[in-house]
């Protein structure tokens, strides 16, 4: 039995509507669980609050990416056209910065967009080809279609297989099942 427990990822409960999921997520948080996660086929309004999620780091990463793109882009043009390869065209000033604004702007947007997307993927730990939840057949069939799931993870200090399963049934979950880690 103990051997078996070491391969448990968590306990998964299924819900029919997003309201049930929000309710269950709130109840799980109130019950003192910390390591649990909700799954939905579309972004559910209010779910982040129910899980107690704080503001994420994607906007900060995007801001940094945009600043790097813009400043890097501007000074790169300055360096190219003033120091490395100065071109004297009809005696115009080498530091003709207004002419560099279009490229600076484009590079700001490019830097910010790339960091928004790759920052989001990195924080989410994607790409991740396999996850224990994919061992659950009903999860694969319904999680990206029409059902809502809540998983209490085994790494939670409070976790006990039987108790967590009973808890999920108590918040009206259907098809409560154990998720294996292999």
In the complex, the residues that contact other proteins under the rule CB under 8 A are 18, 25, 37-44, 47-48, 51, 53, 56, 58-59, 62, 66, 76-77, 80-81, 84-85, 87, 89, 96, 99-100, 102-103, 105-107, 109-110, 112-114, 116-117, 119-121, 123-124, 126-131, 133-134, 139-141, 143-146
- Least separation in angstroms between residue 73's CB and other proteins is 8
Tokens of 84: 């490395």
Q: Report the residue number, 33 or 139, with the smaller CB distance to other proteins.
A: 139
Distance between terminal CA atoms of the chain?
Answer: 16
Q: Report the residue number, 130 or 157, with the smaller CB distance to other proteins.
A: 130
- Least separation in angstroms between residue 2's CB and other proteins is 29
Q: Report the residue number, 38 or 173, with the smaller CB distance to other proteins.
A: 38
**Which residues are 178's β-sheet partners?**
11
Instruction: Say how far apart CA 135 and CA 128 lie, in whole Å.
Output: 14
- Least separation in angstroms between residue 39's CB and other proteins is 5
DSSP alpha helices (H): ranges in the chain? 2-6, 18-30, 47-51, 58-78, 101-123, 137-142, 161-170
What's the number of CA atoms in the CB half-sphere (13 Å) around residue 63?
5
């Amino acid at each position: 039995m103990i051997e078996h427990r070491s391969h448990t990822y968590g306990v998964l409960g299924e819900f029919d509507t997003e309201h049930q999921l929000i309710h269950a997520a709130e109840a799980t948080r109130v019950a003192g669980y910390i390591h649990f996660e909700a799954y939905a086929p579309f972004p559910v309004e209010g779910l982040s609050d129910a899980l107690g999620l704080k503001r994420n780091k994607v906007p900060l990463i995007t801001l940094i990416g945009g600043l790097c793109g813009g400043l890097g882009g501007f000074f790169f043009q300055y360096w190219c056209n003033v120091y490395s390869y100065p071109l004297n065209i009809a005696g115009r000033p080498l530091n003709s910065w207004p002419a560099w604004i279009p490229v600076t702007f484009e590079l700001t947007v490019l830097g910010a967009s790339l960091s928004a997307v790759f920052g989001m993927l990195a924080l989410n730990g994607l790409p991740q080809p396999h996850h224990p939840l994919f061992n659950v057949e009903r999860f694969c069939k319904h999680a990206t279609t029409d059902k809502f799931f809540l998983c209490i993870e085994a790494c939670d200090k409070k976790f006990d297989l039987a108790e967590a399963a009973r808890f999920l049934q108590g918040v009206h979950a259907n098809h409560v099942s154990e998720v294996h880690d292999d």
